[in-house]
Amino acid sequence: MFANDPALTSLDLSHWDTGEVGTFNALQDYSFALMFANDTALTSVGDISHWNTANVHSTRYMFTNTKKLTKLDLSGWNTSKLQIAGGMFKGAGVQQLNLNNWNFSNLHHFNNYGYSAKQGEFRGPEEMFADLANKAVITMNNISLPGTTDAFVVTDFAGTQPIVVLANDHDGRALPALTALNQQTWAGDNGKTVTGRQNSNVLTLVRADNQGTKVGEHGLNFVFVDQADLSNHLNSQIAANQVKSDIGSFSQIWDRQGDTSNGLLKASLRRYPAANDAFLADWVTPKYQLNTAKPATPTAPANPGAGTNAGRPFAPGQAGAGAGLTSQALEARETINSGNSQAKVSSTLPQTGDQESHAAFFGLLMLPFLALGAVVNRRHEK
């Protein structure tokens, strides 16, 4: 109806009576199929959350490639007769999509012509949320799922943008058929086997002193029962033991004690704090920067007969942590874990171990000169 109009920017269809849509008795009942497809400039269609959709049979490609339509609430739709939803949001720009209360149980296979067909090559939800243009949160609470032959598979959510899907059944319980998608395997474009939707929902671990160096990576789930389920999953992935497993040989120099609190990575290590923590898609691409442990202070050889260290720049064994650093540098090091400034601070701080070694070495070099000075003074007195 409105498809393929790149100049269309907004519509207000809030008060449309759509109760008759889908009542025309034909094998190929388009209903809402391709209604707004490829309207790349469309930003709003009004409040269509309570459209009467009791007779709607197809929503195939309804919002495909609506790149600027970022928010949709369709929670009031009656989808009990919906058979085809393939590609409904494929390539869309939705960032917040509300499909609460949807009934997917009558989805059928369909063919390339949009006919519902038992032998159709496409499942009812085929690529329904594929290739989204933005990171998105999709809520599908209080829903019913189709049977196994028309079921959702992980590639119906395929894409390169991070997404969070919150979905549960009418009792608020987990839907095993959906949560199983987190562990479902499929063949990626490069021919490798991929588990879940792991080309975008990924935990990344980098070195704090060289943030371009990745030391670990771990795929994250994308389907959750609720926000608590999401929180628990993230905590399990930033637990110290899991991080140690992910970072391999870097664990030998990792400052585990300084970087963790109560067994989890400190929030201050998260490199890009979410602009809005309520937007859950910001939480499934976390990047944490890990610090290296400070080397132990070198122990100088014993110096029998030495009296006081007064007047010596650095006596052997006395170069403490931060020796040779300015007060500003010490202050910067103390705030190394504070937000986005961490990258800049870490790259400019001197390495504490080098300063300690230099200080001790400098002290050893000064000893012969100090001793020579004492001999000269005694001769002068005579």
- Is residue 38, in this structure, part of any structural domain at all? yes
- Is residue 138, in this structure, part of any structural domain at all? yes
Range of the domain at 53: 1-175
pLDDT at 296: 67
- Is residue 116, in this structure, part of any structural domain at all? yes
- Is residue 257, in this structure, part of any structural domain at all? no
Please state, rounded to an integer, the average pLDDT across all residues of the chain: 81
The listed range with the strongest mean pLDDT (218-222, 272-276, 299-303, 358-362) is 218-222
Domain count, the chain: 1
pLDDT at 373: 45
- Is residue 380, in this structure, part of any structural domain at all? no
- Is residue 377, in this structure, part of any structural domain at all? no
263 vs 272: CA distance, rounded Å: 21
pLDDT tens digits along 5-33:
999 999 999 999 999 999 987 767 689 99
pLDDT tens digits along 224-265:
999 999 999 999 999 999 999 999 999 999 999 999 999 999
Q: Is 6 helix (H, G, I), strand (E, B) or coil?
A: coil
- Is residue 23, in this structure, part of any structural domain at all? yes
How does DSSP classify residue 163?
A: E
- Nearest Cα to 278, choosing from 93, 139, 121, 171? 139
Task: Categorize the per-residue pLDDT at 341 as very low, low, confident or very high, splitting at 50, 70 and 90.
Answer: very low
**Angle at the Cα of 144 from the Cα atoms of 141 and 146, rounded to 5 degrees:** 135
Is the confidence at residue 353, as pLDDT, over 60?
A: no
Percent of the chain with pLDDT over 90: 67
Task: Categorize the per-residue pLDDT at 339 as very low, low, confident or very high, splitting at 50, 70 and 90.
Answer: very low
Compare 374 and 52 and report the one with higher pLDDT.
Answer: 52
- Is residue 141, in this structure, part of any structural domain at all? yes
Is the confidence at residue 133, as pLDDT, over 80?
A: yes
pLDDT at 287: 94
pLDDT tens digits along 179-193:
999 999 988 778 889
